[in-house]
Amino acid sequence: MTEIKDYTQGKITWCAGCGDFSILNAVKRAFVELNIQPENLAFTSGIGCSSKISYWTKAYGFSGLHGRGLQLALGAKLANRNLTVFSAAGDGDLLGEGVNHLIHTARKNIDVTLILHNNQVYGLTTGQKSPTSEKGFITISTPKGVVEDPLNPLLLALTSGSTFIARCFAGDLNHITKIIAEGIKHKGFSFIEILQPCVTYNYLNTYDYWKERCYDLQQNKYDFTNKEEAFKKMHEYGKKMPVGIFYKINKPSYEELFKQTKIPSYKHNIDNINIDKLFEEFR
């Protein structure tokens, strides 16, 4: 069995009290629960406070360009289908700079688990509005308040084709751990939004704010295989906000359907391939 320390590395520099701490804890706890060996795990991300989670998790990590963590995940899964592939992104990273990649990765239903650290602000670049910032939210880039409606990440994941869609709140460590473990076990694209307080730049969506609003969907009778039901629930945003599994169905994953290559690319013999000529072009 693995232990938390097997996935632990680096000196964490998030602000004290940041919701990212409990997300990192939950991620590692889920890996322990599923006994995933670090050498069988690929963890990708883009750029942002949230994306640093892959630096601080011992695994095959790759932090790429802003908004491109999911493309790296897709490549890793196609190269080696035996890997557990996990990806993390911020709201700016995933829904601003990299939003097209979310749509196509979800549509393909590739077996990758994605967590969205939704703090509704650009944290790393010191507090500009993001695609999920609430209307009226005052930031350094919107001194008179955000004027447009926020993007709803769950609805985007649903209409793009995700086969597992859930939401949790960073203040509930046990719930996030459980949902992440469920997401990894699901064969297909798993999309998990985590409501993550940014204690430095988001004065509006605080721990208390979410604690007052969140209720567990799974406490009541709810059929997560019903797309219309999920569509309705995802519109609930206000005084009460559902968390839990909104949608889950079984459907063949991209790599199951993609039969062109019988041998995964990491096993291809590359001894006779000479890439010197290619490099010459960039000299």
| CB of 16 vs ligand SF4, minimal distance in Å | 8
Could you give the string, one character per residue 64-83, with x where binding to ligand TPP holds by CB under 6 A and - elsewhere? --x-----------------
Q: Does 117 bind ligand TPP (CB under 6 A)?
A: yes
Starting from the edge strand earliest in sequence, which strands make up the sheet with 84-90, in order? 60-63, 41-45, 84-90, 113-118, 190-195, 164-169, 241-248, 214-216
CA dist., res. 283 & res. 269, Å (int):
27
Q: Does 98 bind Mg ion (CB under 5 A)?
A: no
Q: Does 50 bind ligand TPP (CB under 6 A)?
A: yes
3-state secondary structure of 193: strand
**Binders of ligand SF4 in range 23-62 (CB under 6 A):** 49
Q: By the 8 A CB rule, do 169 and 240 touch? A: no
Q: How many CB atoms lie within 10 A of CB 232?
A: 11
Helix, strand, coil percent content, the chain, rounded in steps of 5: 35, 15, 45
Could you give the string, one character per residue 108-137, with x where binding to Mg ion holds by CB under 5 A and - elsewhere? -----------x---x--------------
Is 67 or 123 the residue whose CB approaches ligand SF4 more closely? 123
Could you give the string, one character per residue 123-162, with x where binding to ligand TPP holds by CB under 6 A and - elsewhere? xxx----x--------------------------------
Is 38 or 96 the residue whose CB approaches Mg ion more closely? 96
15 binds, among ligand TPP, ligand SF4, Mg ion, none (CB under 5 to 8 A by kind): ligand SF4
- Using CB under 6 A, pick the residue from 19, 48, 64, 244 that binds ligand TPP: 48
SS3 for 43-59 is EEECCCCHHHHHCCECC
Tokens of 143: 């001194």
Nearest to 53 by CA among 93, 101, 18, 89: 89
What's phi and psi for 108, nearest 5 deg? Answer: -75, -20
Q: Does 200 bind ligand TPP (CB under 6 A)?
A: no
Binding stretches for ligand TPP (CB under 6 A)? 47-50, 66, 90-93, 97, 117, 119, 121-125, 130
